[in-house]
């Protein structure tokens, strides 16, 4: 289905940006180690690494979902026929979407508080938390939207009887394939 492949393409781009951010963070940490040996330091690399991790995590989630990368135990599922497998997959996507929407909603108060109080981190850098919690929150909203769209697409495909396509979109890889 076109929607799924579009979502995959977009999220591949997102994943690439996330990867580059992680790479840049590694370079930054490395520079700090070198500078520290020379007697000076940027300071705050720990804090920045934490922010990078939080943002990378939330933005990478949707990509992993679309690449069928989130681990599922398919002991029962794999023993079923194609039709029931699709029902397992659809159910699991519905539950995932619901949970992620709830998480995204509950992440908002965290950001809201930082905006309202203009909170800064309790660190030497005094980072305004809005700057880092904003992108972090956006990542979870992105994941929630992607999950709902994928579920919708899967529902349509199942109703149309396109079971193979559904499995491609929201199925589970055999455990070994997940790792390739």
Partner 1 sequence: MIAYVAIGLLALLSLSIPVGIVLFLLGFGIDWFFSSFPLIRGLGNMVWSASNSATLIAIPFFVLLGEILVRSGVAARTYAALDRWVSWLPGGLVHANVATATMFSATSGSSVATAATVATVAMPQAEKLGYDPKLFSGAIAAGGTLGIMIPPSINLIVYGFLTQTSIPQLFLAGLIPGIGFAIAFIVAVAIICTIRPSLGGERRVFAFSEMMGALTHLLPIILLFTMIIGSIYNGWATPTEAAAVGVAGAFLIAAFFGGVSLTMITESLYGTVKITSMIMLVVIGASFLNFTLASAGLGQALDGFLSSLGLSPMGTLFVIVLMYIVLGFFIETLSLMVVTIPIIVPLVVDLGFDPIWFGILMIVLIEMALITPPVGLNLYVVQGARKDGTMTEVMLGSVPFVLVMLAMVAALIAFPQIALFLPQALN
Which run of H or of E encompasses 133?
helix 129-160
**Is the Cβ–Cβ distance between 111 and 54 less than 8 Å?**
no
Please, what is the minimum distance in Å from the beta carbon of residue 108 to partner 1?
Answer: 7
Nearby residues of 66 by Cβ (< 8 Å), 6 or more positions away: 4, 7, 8, 11, 146, 150
CA–CA dist 175, 154 (Å, integer): 21
Please, what is the minimum distance in Å from the beta carbon of residue 41 to partner 1?
Answer: 12
Please, what is the minimum distance in Å from the beta carbon of residue 178 to partner 1?
Answer: 8
Q: Which residues bind partner 1 (CB under 8 A)?
A: 12, 15-16, 18-20, 22-23, 25-27, 29-30, 32-33, 36-37, 45-47, 49-54, 56-58, 60-61, 63-64, 67, 69-77, 88-89, 91-92, 95-96, 99-100, 102-103, 106-110, 132-133, 136, 140, 172, 174-177, 179-180
Nearer to partner 1, 132 or 154 (CB): 132
CA–CA dist 36, 38 (Å, integer): 5
């Amino acid at each position: 289905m076109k929607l799924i492949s579009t979502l995959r393409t977009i999220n591949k781009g997102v994943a690439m940006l996330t990867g580059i951010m992680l790479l840049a963070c590694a370079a930054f940490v490395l520079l700090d180690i070198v500078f520290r040996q020379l007697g000076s330091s940027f300071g705050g690399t720990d804090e920045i690494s934490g922010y990078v991790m939080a943002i990378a995590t939330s933005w990478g989630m949707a990509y992993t979902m679309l690449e069928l990368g989130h681990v599922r135990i398919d002991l029962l599922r794999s023993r079923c026929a194609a039709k029931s497998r699709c029902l397992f997959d659809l159910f699991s996507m519905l539950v995932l979407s619901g949970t992620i929407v709830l998480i995204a909603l509950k992440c908002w108060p965290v950001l809201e508080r930082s905006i309202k109080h203009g909170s800064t981190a309790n660190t030497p850098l005094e980072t305004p938390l809005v700057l880092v919690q904003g992108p972090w929150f956006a990542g979870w909203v992105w994941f929630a939207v992607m999950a709902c769209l994928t579920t919708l697409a899967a529902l349509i495909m199942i109703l149309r009887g396109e079971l193979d396509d559904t499995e491609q979109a929201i199925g589970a890889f055999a455990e070994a394939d997940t790792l390739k």
